[in-house]
Structure 1
Amino acid sequence: MARILAIDYGEKRCGVAVTDESKIIASGLTTVAAKELLVWLQEYVSKEEVELFIVGEPKRLHGEASEIEKVIRPFLEKLHKTFPDIPVKRMDERFTSKMAFDTMLASGISKKKRRDKALVDQISATIILQDYLYNL
């Protein structure tokens, strides 16, 4: 069975989360440098069947696109060209970084680990994926 993979895309690094094969549980997978993401995805897809990519859609409070969207658009074009048979959906990612930090705080993660932006990105991707699964 295929999985769903979510990406919290950033200029420097991208958080990645994935579902189990039954598409019930979303789990943080890793954080990848943005410039290496497509190569990493090619390697992952060669080993695991992925039926859908979910890419976070950053918006401002009033719903207009965030500044980083201009960086995400070229990535989306490359993603479509690299994986023409895997559809891509977007999910609103407003407040996911704040929610990720709050999750880390509530779970008792040390102050040093909470400063790890890669971990925040990975948890943010997991939240994006959980939101998608919840809204199915």
Structure 2
Amino acid sequence: MKFTQMAKATEIDRDWVIIDATDKVFGRIITEVATILRGKNKTNYTPHVDCGDNVIIINATKAKFSGTKLETKNYYTHSGYFGSTKTHKMSDMFEQNPEKLYKLAARGMLPKTKLGKSMLKKLKVYAGSEHPHTAQIKG
């Protein structure tokens, strides 16, 4: 009888994946990133183990947005106090801090647990084409 193999945290091999965001649609980039961070692209995927790879996104400011999302989409924050809801336009967030926008979008596609938080730590976003992780990349 054959059993399904469950991956253990000690057996996971983590690679570094570089994604160039130049002229790619923002949402398509994020779905690809979330799949890689979770490890769903691997054959030994296990839901309760962080078996994903490290992801580096370069040229984050050169991504495209479909439709009028950049002008019309809003993000909301709330501190917990009455009347403290703040609205942030997507266009302002993309200009000021694109790294935060990418991480916020990827967080929405990951599990809302400690496991998801540890997966998000493996995402590195850079506005330009330079990144300090050249030593980790094979080949």
Category of TM-score, reference length = shorter chain:
under 0.3
TM-score (norm 1): 0.23
Q: Which protein is bigger by CA-based radius of gyration?
A: 2
Q: What is the TM-score when the length of structure 2 is the normalising length?
A: 0.22
Greater share of residues in helix: 1
Question: Greater RCO between the two (CA within 8 Å, min separation 6)?
Answer: 1
Q: Which has the higher strand share?
A: 1
